[in-house]
Structure 1
Amino acid sequence: MEGDIKNVITYWLDGEISNFIKVWLSIYTCLCYCYLAGKIVQKGILRFLALFPIICLFIFLPLKLHSLHLGITTAFFVAWLSNFKLLMFVFDKGPLSDPLISLPRFITVACLPIKIQHKSFNENKIKDNPPHKTSKKGHKSMLNYAIKGVLLASMIKLHDYNDQIHPLVIWILYGFHIYFALEIILAIVATVARVSLGVELESTFNEPLLSTSLQDFWGRRWNIMVSSILHPSVYEPVHKLSEKLLGRELAPLPAVLGTFIVSALMHELLFYYMGRTRPTWKASLFFLLHGACLVVEIITKKVVKNRWQLPRLLATVLVVGFVMVTGLVLFLPEMLRTNADLRAFEEYAAVGAFVRDVSRALGFAPLANATRI
């Protein structure tokens, strides 16, 4: 095991970190080009043709990274969020279309889920990409993150006893592991962005375990930064088209389904980055199922209106239970198929061993002992 960890450390320092730097330098260079293209080329088909090679390159670049954390974080920020922002920018919409935006701010907003808060951003642009209603609630205390950090560390340690734990319990632990890890990693990125750039990242999660409906879970609590980019780039255009074809009452339904279809395809792409394996489309089935159920929920709410509703506690249990069961059956197996769990533990162990070796070299024995996994 120790030899494997040393191999992972060597791989990271000799190859992966170097590739990571090259990939992000390429991203910054491409975004400089996009900024200049936006100044020279008019919106519409000509700007699309100018930016299309960059969009394709952003899909390819994450393939140069193989580590789970660096690769998937880059893929999520660039192949998904950046590309969708660039597609909106083609039509002079979204956060990149502010005519007063500077090059450094353009690059930062393009490759990170940044919240635009300066007053010069005109009202029409704000309407194109409205701030999320729960963004203020997304800022959690350090105690909140500390508790989740302790829980994540405990779950990592529990995996040493997988042979003595029921498989169903292990899978549930994996689900919480993913949630806590995502929130903590993105909180770290947000802190770095706040300190170094003076900007705020979009909120990631808003206590999804308290959701009272699928609409509440997907729209206001789970992965808010994805919702904030899918709403203006997919939901709104499909809604406008559907409103012309089907009328205002039915327009939200195809818009919701279209959003979940796009999300399904992007998750399949992320899983490909993760494991370089052909998709089984179970993850797509997960999102299509939830999209269909959300459509049924919206229709039911319109029919019932405020005449009847479930008690809050019961609604939360049903919603969270439905998400967990469908996630365990359809979503989580796709992640485990890529050996994401084993690779994550190897990377955790490699980072711990690296910190321990550096601490010993610097004479910090207590820190070296504390990082032992």
Structure 2
Amino acid sequence: MEGELNNLIVLWVLTTLSLWYCYRISAKISKGFTRLFSIFPVLILLLILPFNLHTFHLGTSHVVILSWLANFRLLLFAFDQGPLSPLPPKLYLFILAACSPYKIKRNLVKIKKGETLFQLPSLILEAANKAALLVFLFYSYNFKQYFHNHVLLILYFFHTYLNIQLLLAVAAIPAQLLLPGVELEPQFKTPVRATSLQDFWGHRWNRRVSDTLRSTIYDPVKTISTRIIGRRWASYPAVMATFVISGLMHELIYYHIIREYPTWEVTWFFVLQGLFVDLEIFLKKKLVANGKFKLHQAISGPLTLANIALTAGCLSYTQLLRNGADEKIINEFNVTVEIFKGSA
């Protein structure tokens, strides 16, 4: 554990220095491929740095934050787009905008001296609630031999959801401390109330990742496709390209967890989701827009969740379970508990 903490310190020192270089040097280079060339070493460094962390909770969160979000935002920054453009007035704002898994609004409300930050206590309470639920889940894993495999898959899905929520709640606390009055948009928007796959992936599930993919993949591909195949069909390849890239980034996350050569199952999960979303868009244009047919939300909602649950159960989680990732995560939690007991 001591070695892991040392690796974490080294990671953030190198990350800070890399982003300082982007802020002080690359920002002065003209936008476009020249600036992209100047930040290319930073992109490679942020891609590989998280792999020096070997624990699940530290490692996977940094793969998402640095290898995915920060790198994609720096790609946009190279062309003067995204949350890093226009250039923030302070370096720490640049680092927050690059690495934060939440959306920082430009218009900040100034808090007078002596006033209370109302959102900070709620963030701490939310983090504590998610941590308590995760502890309960970990405790239930001690009896996993009595659970049906389908029940375990449901528990692992909620584990993923709670883990992401906890990470986001903890990551939002520094923004509230450094940016008094900042308004943070919720990362999830009640995913279980999704009425379609478009609604789930585009507006409810992990919205900051969706925003990043929309800016870096969907919009450019749609613009190019519009010139080639016309506006009517341009969204279909854009959707598919977005889901393929998302699948590849999830393969990177999975590789960090299991350290095994990818079997591409998780990529196929996202490819299937892309095909389903494209089919959904096509049917909506043909049937719903013309008023010929429309499913009630009471039917489309459960069908959406069933689709995701079935494909995720067959493809997304199978690889992790086959390589014993669940046992690794449970053992990691037990070791952490023992460390806290020993220091108490």
* Cα deviation 1:153-174 (Å, max 9, x = unaligned): 3322221112222122112211
Q: Which moved more, 1:178-187 or 1:346-355?
A: 346-355
CA contact (8 A) 2:251 2:264 kept: yes
Q: Does 1:61 align with 2:49?
A: yes
CA contact (8 A) 2:88 2:94 kept: no
Q: Does 1:283 align with 2:273?
A: no
State the AA in 1 paired with 2:162: F
The equivalent residue for 1:135 is none
* Cα deviation 1:273-319 (Å, max 9, x = unaligned): 22221000000100000000100000100111252322212211111
The equivalent residue for 2:168 is 186
The equivalent residue for 1:352 is 337
Matched position secondary structure for 2:261 = coil
The equivalent residue for 2:78 is 90
**Closer, same or farther: CA 56–146 of 1 in aligned 2, 3 Å:** closer
**Closer, same or farther: CA 87–317 of 1 in aligned 2, 3 Å:** same
Deviation at 1:100, TM superposition (A): 4.8
Task: Mark the runs of 5 or more structure 1 residues left unpaired by the alignment.
Answer: 1-11, 121-139, 360-373
After TM superposition, the structure 1 = structure 2 runs for residues 104-253 of structure 1, keeping only pairs within 5 Å, are: 104-119=92-107, 149-198=131-180, 199=182, 203-253=186-236
Matched position secondary structure for 1:96 = coil
Q: Which moved more, 1:350-359 or 1:327-336?
A: 350-359
Identity fraction in percent: 37
Deviation at 1:345, TM superposition (A): 1.6
CA contact (8 A) 1:193 1:200 kept: no
CA contact (8 A) 1:113 1:202 kept: no
Q: Distance in 2 between matches of 1:156 and 1:313?
A: 33
TM-score norm. by structure 2 comes to: 0.89
State which of 328, 332, 337 in structure 1 corresponds to 2:313: 328
Deviation at 1:175, TM superposition (A): 1.4
**Closer, same or farther: CA 345–196 of 1 in aligned 2, 3 Å:** farther
Q: Distance in 2 between matches of 1:195 and 1:67?
A: 27
**Closer, same or farther: CA 319–339 of 1 in aligned 2, 3 Å:** same
Q: Distance in 2 between matches of 1:354 and 1:175?
A: 27
Deviation at 1:116, TM superposition (A): 3.2
Q: Does 1:339 align with 2:324?
A: yes
Q: Distance in 1 between matches of 2:221 and 2:240?
A: 10
Q: Which moved more, 1:346-355 or 1:63-72?
A: 346-355
State the AA in 2 paired with 1:217: F
State which of 1, 6, 9 in structure 2 corresponds to 1:21: 9
Q: Which moved more, 1:59-68 or 1:182-191?
A: 182-191
**Closer, same or farther: CA 64–291 of 1 in aligned 2, 3 Å:** same
* RMSD (Å) for aligned C-alpha atoms: 2.1
State the AA in 1 paired with 2:134: L
* Cα deviation 1:144-199 (Å, max 9, x = unaligned): 77665554333222211122221221122111221122212221221243234445
CA contact (8 A) 1:202 1:225 kept: no
The equivalent residue for 2:58 is 70
State which of 12, 37, 45 in structure 1 corresponds to 2:33: 45
Q: Distance in 1 between matches of 2:52 and 2:123?
A: 36
Q: Distance in 1 between matches of 2:123 and 2:179?
A: 21
Task: Mark the runs of 5 or more structure 2 residues left unpaired by the alignment.
Answer: 109-121
State the AA in 1 paired with 2:170: I
Deviation at 1:72, TM superposition (A): 0.8
Q: Which moved more, 1:151-160 or 1:215-224?
A: 151-160
* Cα deviation 1:56-92 (Å, max 9, x = unaligned): 1111111111011111111110000000011111111
The equivalent residue for 1:5 is none
Matched position secondary structure for 2:105 = coil
Deviation at 1:141, TM superposition (A): 8.3
The equivalent residue for 2:116 is none
CA contact (8 A) 2:26 2:38 kept: no
**Closer, same or farther: CA 60–146 of 1 in aligned 2, 3 Å:** closer
Aligned residues: 328
Q: Distance in 1 between matches of 2:255 and 2:124?
A: 34
**Closer, same or farther: CA 30–200 of 1 in aligned 2, 3 Å:** farther
